[in-house]
Structure 1
Amino acid sequence: MTPTPPLSWPPMEERLEEPLRRVLERMQARILVGTTYFGVHTFKCPLDFWVYQELLYEIQPEVVVEIGNYRGGSTLALAHVLDALGKGRILAIDIDQRKIDPRARRHPRIAWIQGDAKRLAGEVAARIGASGPVLLIEDSDHTRENTLGVLRAYADLVSPGSYLIVEDTNCHHGIADGPFPGPYEAVADFLAEDRRFVADRSRESFGITWNPRGYLLRVG
C-alpha cells in the first residue's frame, strides 16, 4: 500500500531553493496535523525529540518532569526511552488531563498530576524528594508571563549538569504562531535573573529546532 502524506507537498528534491521560513511553516503544519507516537497524537518536532533521547542517555535522570502533556504522546515516548535505560520515572503535569490517551495513562513509569503547574511546584518537589538527577521540560501555556512563572517555580528542582528545556521558543522566532511576547522572551528574562543557567546552543546542532535558546543547562 502506498502511504498517503498528511499534507500535499512537493517532494524535497523539487524545492531545494525554498526559503527556510517556508520549510518551518510546513514542518509546523505537519506537527499540528498528524504527528503521532505509537498512535498517540503529539505536538513535538522530531529533531528535538532526538536531542531529548540523547540527553536522557547522557544524564540518566531519575526523574523527568514534563509540564504540558496534551494527549500524552511525548510523555509515552519519554517513558519508552526510560524503559530502554532501565531506570527513571516521569512526573507529568497539565492543567487538564482528561484527553490523555489510555496507552499513555497506563504506563507504570508515569505519574499524572493535574492542575496549575506553578501552584504544584511544592508537591512536585516533595514527590522528587532526594532523587536525582532531574530533567525538566516546560511545554505549558506559552505566554511570557506563564512561562517565566514556571521557570522561576521549578528552577531549583533541576539538577546541576542537567537541563530545563523550554519548548516552542520559536513562537515569532521561526514561525508566526503563538503568543508574543512568549517563551523566547521569557527565557531572555529568566537567564538575566538566574545565572545558574545558560542557553546551551550546541543542542540546536540539527540547524532546525522548535526550542531556539530553549535548552537551558544548569551550571551552578
Structure 2
Amino acid sequence: MEKSPHQQFQDDIDARVSRYRESPALQEATSGFFNQIGIGKADYVYNFHWLGIPIIQIPQDIQAMQEIIWHTKPDLIIETGVAWGGSLVFSASMLALLESFGQIDKAEVVGVDIEIRPHNRKALSEHPLAKKITLIEGSSIEAGIVSEVRRIAARHQRVMLCLDSNHTHEHVLAELEAYAPLVSSGCYCMVGDTIIEDAPESMTSHRPWGKGNSPKSAVFEYLRRLDATPQRGEDGQLLKFGVDQMTENKILLTGSPSGYLKRV
C-alpha cells in the first residue's frame, strides 16, 4: 500500500532524527549551548511565558509536551512543582483544545507544591483557564496529599504525570513510587530536570541535589525496581515504562534527558 504524504513525512523525521545521535559535532554543539544557557549563566529558562504566566521550561521541551499531549489525549495531567504556574496553564490550554475538538471530556490539571505563593495563586485563580486547574498545597509525597491526588485520578480515564518539584533522588523516587502507577497505558510520566545528572557542578553546587542525587538517578532506580519486582498499575495491568529516546533525540535541547517515560 502506498504511504500517505503524512506518513512519508513522519518516516522522514524518524530517519533524520535517528542520525542525530551519530553526529559528534551536533551533540557537542548541543551540549555546549546548554552549558552556556544554564542557571547561573544566561538563565535562559526564565525568559518565557505561556498565555501570560511565566513558564520555567526550555521551549523545546514545551514543543515535545505539546506533541505528546495531542497524541496521547490524557484527561488528567498531574504536576508536582507549581512555581509561577506556567506549566499548569500550558497543560490546561492543551486539554481545553482537546475538549473543544471533542477528543476528551471533563479534563483537568492538578498542581501540587509544598508552597504556592499568594501572588501565583492569585494569578492562576484569575486566569481564563482557572476552572481547569486544581491547586493542592503540601508535600507531594505526604500520604494525605497522595491520597487526595489518587481520589481525583479515580474520576478520569487517561492520566499523565509531570514531576518537577524537589529534585533530590530520594524525593523524586518517592514521587515515582506514589504516582507512576496512576499513569495510563500509552501515556507519559515526564520527569523534569534529569539534566542535573549531566550538568556542570557549578550549576548545582548551591543546591541539595547533584550528580548521583538527581531526578535521573531516581528514574534509573525506579526502572530497575520495576524490572526486579514487577508491579501493577492502578488499572490492574503490568506497570512498565520505556524511555522515549526518539523525543529526546528530536528536540536535541532538553532539560529532561531520559526523563520522557512512556507506559508501555
Asked if these proteins are the same fold (TM beyond 0.5), I'd say yes
- Does residue 253 of structure 2 align to residue 208 of structure 1? yes
Question: Equivalents in 2 of 1:46, 1:85: separation in Å?
Answer: 21
Q: Could you say which residue in structure 2 is the equivalent of 1:23?
A: 33
* 1:41 Cα offset (Å): 2.0
Pair 1:81–1:161, CA change in 2 (3 A)? same
- Does residue 166 of structure 2 align to residue 141 of structure 1? yes
Question: Equivalents in 1 of 2:78, 2:132: separation in Å?
Answer: 12
Cα deviation 1:123-165 (Å, max 9, x = unaligned): 1011121412100000010011111110111111111111110
Q: Could you say which residue in structure 2 is the equivalent of 1:190?
A: 222
Question: Which of 179, 190, 197 is the matching residue for 1:172?
Answer: 197
Q: Could you say which residue in structure 2 is the equivalent of 1:123?
A: 148
Kindly provide the amino acid, as one letter, of the partner of residue 131 in structure 1: H
Question: Which of 50, 53, 63 is the matching residue for 1:40?
Answer: 53
- Paired residues of 2:82 and 2:113 also in contact (CA < 8 A): yes
Question: Equivalents in 2 of 1:63, 1:37: separation in Å?
Answer: 19
Kindly provide the amino acid, as one letter, of the partner of residue 200 in structure 1: D
Q: Quick check: which has more Rg, 1 or 2?
A: 2
Pair 1:19–1:58, CA change in 2 (3 A)? closer
- Paired residues of 1:24 and 1:175 also in contact (CA < 8 A): no
Question: Equivalents in 1 of 2:186, 2:31: separation in Å?
Answer: 33
- Paired residues of 1:21 and 1:174 also in contact (CA < 8 A): no
Kindly provide the amino acid, as one letter, of the partner of residue 251 in structure 2: F
What count of residue pairs does the alignment treat as equivalent? Answer: 203
Question: Which consecutive segments of 4 or more residues in structure 1 shift more than 6 A?
Answer: none
Q: Could you say which residue in structure 2 is the equivalent of 1:7?
A: none
Question: Equivalents in 1 of 2:123, 2:187: separation in Å?
Answer: 28
**Identity score, percent:** 29
* 1:19 Cα offset (Å): 4.3
Unaligned runs of 5+ in 1: 1-15
Unaligned runs of 5+ in 2: 1-25, 100-104, 228-239
Cα deviation 1:52-75 (Å, max 9, x = unaligned): 111111111110001101010111
* 1:206 Cα offset (Å): 1.5
Give the alignment's TM-score, normalised by structure 2.
Answer: 0.72
Question: Equivalents in 2 of 1:192, 1:212: separation in Å?
Answer: 17
What secondary structure, in the 3-state scheme, does the structure 2 residue paired with 1:184 have? helix
Question: Which of 64, 67, 82 is the matching residue for 2:95?
Answer: 82
Question: Equivalents in 1 of 2:63, 2:220: separation in Å?
Answer: 25
Which has a greater percent of helix?
2
Q: Could you say which residue in structure 2 is the equivalent of 1:4?
A: none
Question: Equivalents in 2 of 1:34, 1:175: separation in Å?
Answer: 21
Question: Which of 181, 202, 205 is the matching residue for 1:156?
Answer: 181
Pair 1:31–1:161, CA change in 2 (3 A)? same
Pair 1:162–1:175, CA change in 2 (3 A)? farther
- Does residue 133 of structure 2 align to residue 100 of structure 1? no
Task: Give me the CA root mean square deviation.
Answer: 1.9
